Amino acid sequence: MFRVGVDLGGTKIQSVLLNKDNRVLANDRRLTPHDSGPPGVAQAIAGSVTQVIKKSKVATADVVGVGVGSPGQIDKRAGTVSHAGNLPDWDQTFPLGIELAAQIDKPVDLGNDVQLAVRAESELGAGANLNSFIGVFLGTGIGGGVIINRKEWLGRGAAGEIGHMIVNQDGPSCPCGRFGCLEAYAGRAAMEAQARAWQDTGQKTILFDIMKRKKRERLTSGVWAKALKKHDPMATRLIDRAVTALSVGIASAVNLLDPDGVVVGGGLGIRLGQPFLDRVVQETTPLMISRERPPQFAVASLGDLGGAIGAGLLPLD
Amino acid sequence: MFRVGVDLGGTKIQSVLLNKDNRVLANDRRLTPHDSGPPGVAQAIAGSVTQVIKKSKVATADVVGVGVGSPGQIDKRAGTVSHAGNLPDWDQTFPLGIELAAQIDKPVDLGNDVQLAVRAESELGAGANLNSFIGVFLGTGIGGGVIINRKEWLGRGAAGEIGHMIVNQDGPSCPCGRFGCLEAYAGRAAMEAQARAWQDTGQKTILFDIMKRKKRERLTSGVWAKALKKHDPMATRLIDRAVTALSVGIASAVNLLDPDGVVVGGGLGIRLGQPFLDRVVQETTPLMISRERPPQFAVASLGDLGGAIGAGLLPLD
């Protein structure tokens, strides 16, 4: 029962090959191409799948299926992905599942990237011993998930949007078009936009120097981590703001749901790790109704591979 | 299977007698005594139970049990209520279930007042056709409940505190000791405190005149309704503020849980009714991720009796 799981993101494509015990036998990571539209992305995924199978030394014939976690709107039955704003030229609907299945000659299942990362943490990661938890995944945006009785609660399909809990209605504009969402404070894209705006008014920061030195075009999680380590005042201020907003959003969600735990993941959450989480816990605790018995807080333990591992569970359904 | 349900509140004791189809055969309403501590309250409940049975003309022997919904911390097994802040001299633990059972010679079950009101709406009221909903109950404070797959989700016991979702961390102080909770804007006690503070600075309002004319000591839901009808500027301003805060809190909860519905109840919610709910819907909709397919909004349909009816379900468990 070997399977490949692929986490498709705006920046990178991460693939893993899992054995029957869901252990990762091999992985492949490559940049998401931004110059050839959805067909180019499909081709890059096919290349990554072929490569991860090759690396694992498992016979291609023994791989039963491929799961892909994607942003945007997923139609699992039709095998399509629509409106994936972070992906290149992906405003319309593209038959990713069908294209990919044709190229690699394997069954392909699609799922929502964040939902799969939350599911992986619930089945195999930091949430494995929690009956209920709130997953908060910090990346370009903020995704989330709600686990109730060990199963992801999807509501009418779109539950888990903790990034669009409103932390302060008079707050900054959010990439979603509203104001003062958690993501407007603690999503990487929003933090970068704020940093650029402040730099344009003459405020100093080493964030963009680090970015250039790392040959990046965006403020990646690694750039933020480095700037914090160097005590850059603007990075520190933006992360402080993000911690405060996260505390308000998480406390509100905890007061509403009283879950067993809170799992913080995503590229930025994992990169900043336990010290960052400790600060979030410290600011969240006084805002909780049940502060004398707080939920367990944990960093997502599957790390960067969580999304791909979650995708690799899809062929088992 | 006749049962009595009692809703014990800071202001009033509401009792109903239910038949096997959960129809209300009789009801009794009286003020909660504030001069004789918890024993006085137990005695008043016993009086109300006796009265509602008498009114219903059901033989006392045919009443199988009594359920009581109470604020504060409930220990169902021990039959005790602790820390019921809204009740007189109830900072400690009082064996309400045992006292009452001794006085009326019937089995007594205790439950949380708001949880029971939410349960009643889910089983018999506005939520009866909803697989999932968020209940928002506006009274002295703001209580709530989360129905998931037709069952109340209690988390580790304290879920549903939508009143303590944080709408604005820099907002006014909340009776819970934190700042900017939804309840700090839209709970009756907080609105009254704000009205008094504004009046003390010389701002005019007819709120307290209406209160006195109605021989009340607090700004009851009826007082608010009347002041709004008379276009009192301060009442209008405070209710506008409450609507906005409710919209932010409800939208955050909806974005997190994507439920089938939202049910607004409690004394104030029911008194202000559909026109008030319409305003909440209007302000909430633009803040929702899935605004093109909003959840169903409804006023709690069991009205003032919901809490007592929910309590009357307890002896069936």
Tell me how far CA of residue B9 lies from CA of A97, B81, B225, B270, in angstroms: 57, 13, 20, 16
Characterize the bridge pairing of strands B296-299 and B261-265: parallel
Tell me how far CA of residue A134 lies from CA of A69, A153, A172, A290, in angstroms: 19, 10, 24, 16
Q: What is the per-residue pLDDT for B72? A: 87
Residues of B in contact with A132 (CB under 8 A): 155
**Residue B163 in this model has a pLDDT that exceeds 80:** yes
Q: Which residue has the higher pLDDT, B10 or A270?
A: A270
Q: What is the per-residue pLDDT for A146? A: 97
Q: What is the per-residue pLDDT for A157? A: 87
Q: Which A positions 72-131 lie with beta carbon below 8 A of chain B?
A: none
Q: Measured between CB atoms, which of B161, B168, B293 is closest to A289?
A: B161
Residues of A in contact with B251 (CB under 8 A): 166
Task: Quick: pLDDT tens for B135-150.
Answer: 999 988 999 999 999 9
What is residue B291's DSSP assignment?
T
Collapsing DSSP states into helix, strand and coil, what is residue A170?
A: coil
Which superfamily is assigned to A2-116+306-316 in CATH? ATPase, nucleotide binding domain (3.30.420.40)
**Residue B85 in this model has a pLDDT that exceeds 80:** no
Note whether B177 contacts A: Cβ–Cβ < 8 A.
no
Q: Mutate which of B255, B258, B289 to disrupt the A interface (most A C-beta within 10 Å)?
A: B255
Complex-level ipTM: 0.92
In whole angstroms, what is the distance from residue B143 CA to residue B266 CA? Answer: 8
Nearest residue of A to residue B156, measured between CA atoms: A258
- Write out residues in chain A with pLDDT < 50, as ranges: none
Task: Quick: pLDDT tens for B290-310.
Answer: 888 999 999 999 999 999 999
Q: Which residue has the higher pLDDT, A177 or B201?
A: B201
Q: What is the per-residue pLDDT for B158? A: 87
What is residue B166's DSSP assignment?
B
Compute the average pLDDT of residues B52-60: 97
| Cβ neighbours for A59, distance < 8 A, ≥ 6 positions apart | none
* B164 band by pLDDT with thresholds 50, 70 and 90: very high
Q: What is the per-residue pLDDT for B292? A: 86
Note whether A177 contacts B: Cβ–Cβ < 8 A.
no
Residues of B in contact with A168 (CB under 8 A): 168-170
- As a CATH number, domain B129-301 is 3.30.420.40
Are A6 and A45 spatial neighbours (Cβ–Cβ below 8 Å)? Answer: yes
**Residue B175 in this model has a pLDDT that exceeds 90:** no
| Cβ neighbours for B50, distance < 8 A, ≥ 6 positions apart | B104
**Residue B100 in this model has a pLDDT that exceeds 90:** yes
Q: Mutate which of B118, B147, B183, B257 to disrupt the A interface (most A C-beta within 10 Å)?
A: B257
Handedness of CA B233, B239, B240, B242 (dihedral sign): positive
Q: For the whole model, what pTM was predicted?
A: 0.92
Q: Mutate which of A257, A285, A287, A291 to disrupt the B interface (most B C-beta within 10 Å)?
A: A257
Show me where the domains of chain A are located: 2-116+306-316, 129-301
Q: What is the per-residue pLDDT for A158? A: 87
Single out the residue of A251, A166, A243, A248 nearest to residue B161, CA to CA.
A251
Compute the average pLDDT of residues B233-261: 98
Residues of A in contact with B170 (CB under 8 A): 168
